[in-house]
């Protein structure tokens, strides 16, 4: 019973059962490995993707809940906010091990789309669900501010 998903602007047919978390559809069936598994309980944010532009944790989002929503993953993250964020991430050299960074960028991009000039409190709220074991938080904060300024 194939299901049709819209991932990064493309319609894709998948065979996974409806209870399969979107994370494992992306990784296990579509081999889109940029979205990461960290906890399986929406506690770390490594699996963050966008559903119709809203950040969600793919590890607890069953395929049945996706429907015809537009799924955006790190591989398909585009647009002025994404470009500004990647530039700031590069200039400020944010990433360390990098494992959480797909999720961090997905959350940061969703934030900037809603709040083009986020305050520190906005960043705390939007990024609070994304854990980083390497401790890149100070540079993430600076990079989000810089991306917001850069697009200003």
Partner 1 sequence: MVKRRTVLLGGAATAGALVIGWGVMPPRQRLHPSDPLPQTSGQAALNGWVKVGADNTVTVMMAKSEMGQGAHTGLAAILAEELDADWAQVRLEMTPIDDIYNNLATVVDGLPFHPDNDGSMKAVAGWLTAKTMREVGVMMTGGSSSIKDLWLPMREAGAHARAMLIRAAAAQWGVQATECTANAGWVEHTAGQRATFGELAALAAQQPMPGKVTLKEPAQFKLIGKPLTRIEAPSKLDGTAVFGIDANPPGLLHASLVMCPTRGGKVARFDAAAAQKLPGVKHVLDVAPYHGGTGGVAVIADTPWHAKKAAAAVTVEWDHGPAATLSSDTVMARLAQALDQAKGFGYHSAGDVDAAMQGAATTITADYRAPYLAHAALEPINCTVQFKDGAATVWTSTQVPGLARRAAAKALGIDDEKVTLHQLLLGGGFGRRLEADYVAQAAAIAKVAGGAPVQTLWSREQDTQHDFYRPACMARFKAGFDAQGQLVAWHNVSVGQAIVPQVLVRTFGLAGAGPDKTTSEGAFDQPYEWPHARIAHEIVDLPLPVGFWRSVGHSHQAFFKESFVDEAAAAAKQDPVAFRAALLQKHPRHLKVLQKAAELADWGKPLAPGAAGEKRARGVALHQSFGSIVAQVAEVSVGADKAIRVHRVVCVVDCGAAINPNLIAQQMESGVVFGLTAALYGEITLKDGQVQQSNFHDVPLLRMADCPRVETHIIDSAEPPEGVGEPGVPPIAPAVANALFALTGQRLRALPLKLA
Residues that bind partner 1 (CB under 8 A): 16-17, 20-21, 24, 27-29, 31-41, 43-44, 46, 73-75, 77, 86, 89-91, 93, 95-102, 105, 123-125, 127-128, 130-141
Nearest CB to partner 1, comparing residues 53 and 72: 72
DSSP 1-29: --EEEEETTEEEEE---TTSBHHHIIIII
Q: Minimum distance from CB of 4 to partner 1 (Å)? A: 18
51 CB-side CA count, 13 A = 17
The distance from CA 53 to its chain's CA centroid, rounded to whole angstroms, is: 10
How far apart are CB 146 and partner 1 at their closest, in Å? 14
Q: Would you say 125 or 149 has its CB closer to partner 1? A: 125
- State the nearest-atom distance from the C-beta of 61 to partner 1, in Å: 13
- Quote the tokens at residue 31: 């081999």
Looking at the Cβ atoms of 101 and 146, the one nearer to partner 1 is 101
**Contacting residues for 26 by C-beta, under 8 A, at least 6 apart:** 7, 32, 35, 49, 58, 71, 73
């Amino acid at each position: 019973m194939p299901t049709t998903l819209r991932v990064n602007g493309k319609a894709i047919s998948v065979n996974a059962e409806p209870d399969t978390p979107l994370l494992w559809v992306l990784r296990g069936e579509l081999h889109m490995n940029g979205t990461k598994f960290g906890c399986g309980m929406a506690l770390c944010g490594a699996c963050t993707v966008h559903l119709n532009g809203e950040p969600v944790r793919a590890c607890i989002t069953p395929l049945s809940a996706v429907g015809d929503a537009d799924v955006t993953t790190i591989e398909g993250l585009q647009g002025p906010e994404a470009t500004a964020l990647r530039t700031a991430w590069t200039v400020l050299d944010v990433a360390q091990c990098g494992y959480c960074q797909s999720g961090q960028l997905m959350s940061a991009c969703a934030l900037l789309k809603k709040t083009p000039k986020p305050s520190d409190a906005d960043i705390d709220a939007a990024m609070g669900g994304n854990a980083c074991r390497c401790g890149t938080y100070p540079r993430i904060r600076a990079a989000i501010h810089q991306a917001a300024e850069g697009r200003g």
